[in-house]
Amino acid sequence: MIANRYLLFSELIIHWDPIKFYLAKKFKLIYNTFYYNLMTPGTYMKLKNLALSINAFMLILNCSLNSTTAAASELFSNLTEQEEQNIKIERVISADTVVLETGEKIKLIGLLAPPLPKKASPQYDSFGFVIPPVVTPETPIEEQSLHFVQKLLEKQLVRLEFDVQRKDESNYSLAYIFLPDGTFVNAEILKNGLANLQIRPPNLKYEDKLREAYREARREKRGLQSE
């Protein structure tokens, strides 16, 4: 009868996670040693109290681990909601819109790209490869802005930062983009006069930096701000 009770209790403990499994094995070893060698009523009570103590300790440990895990999970979730690192830009659609390697479309916060002209037919070399367009001061500013951002971002690993509003009306993700060297891409495009400023609440985290970049482009009469 005594043996059955202890074996049942020990088996209940064994079904807990690995750290508890280890302790339960130790308890079972102690029980077997005492039972088969010098089990007495007094020894039985001592072992019973030991088992209850181990059980209580395991319950407290389990609660503590669960609380710690939940807190860590919540913290990690909050971090990943605000920032994503080492994200690859697959292609650039316009000066304010890019596509990630995953296919997700990202709209850069704080700027509005000029509409692109009708796409010209590509030119090919003698081997059949597309000839990259040559960008000159005479190239329309709309194309200049596109080529600038393509050169800056395509196939690059970047860091995305988000703000209060994560999606726009077209379901594009809204983000600030940073290069590995710390370059703030949204501001860099504005500073070169290759997009217009568009501040839309509630996404105001970098409003001051974006306005300053836009003012610099106007002051130096760059790109779209040259008129």
More confident residue, 48 or 3: 48
What is the average per-residue pLDDT within 173-186? 98
Question: What crossing angle do the helices spanning 2-14 and 41-82 adopt, rounded to 10°?
Answer: 10
Distance (Å, whole) CA 109 – CA 81: 16
What is the average per-residue pLDDT within 97-125? 85
How far lies 58's CA from each of 5, 102, 146, 191, in Å? 19, 44, 61, 60
Tens digits of residue pLDDT in 62-83: 655 555 555 545 544 444 467 8
Kindly state the tokens that stand for 75.
């913290």
**pTM of model > 0.85:** no
Tens digits of residue pLDDT in 83-101: 888 999 999 999 999 999 9
Tens digits of residue pLDDT in 35-48: 555 555 566 566 66
CATH class for the region spanning 95-226: mainly beta
Kindly state the tokens that stand for 120.
């010209």
**Residue 222 contacts residue 193 (beta carbons within 8 Å):** yes
Q: Give the model's pLDDT for residue 140.
A: 85
The pLDDT-based confidence of 1 (bands split at 50, 70, 90) is: very low
**Residue 225 contacts residue 172 (beta carbons within 8 Å):** no
Domain limits, the chain: 2-80, 95-226
Residue 91, CB-side half-sphere exposure with 13 Å CA sphere: 2
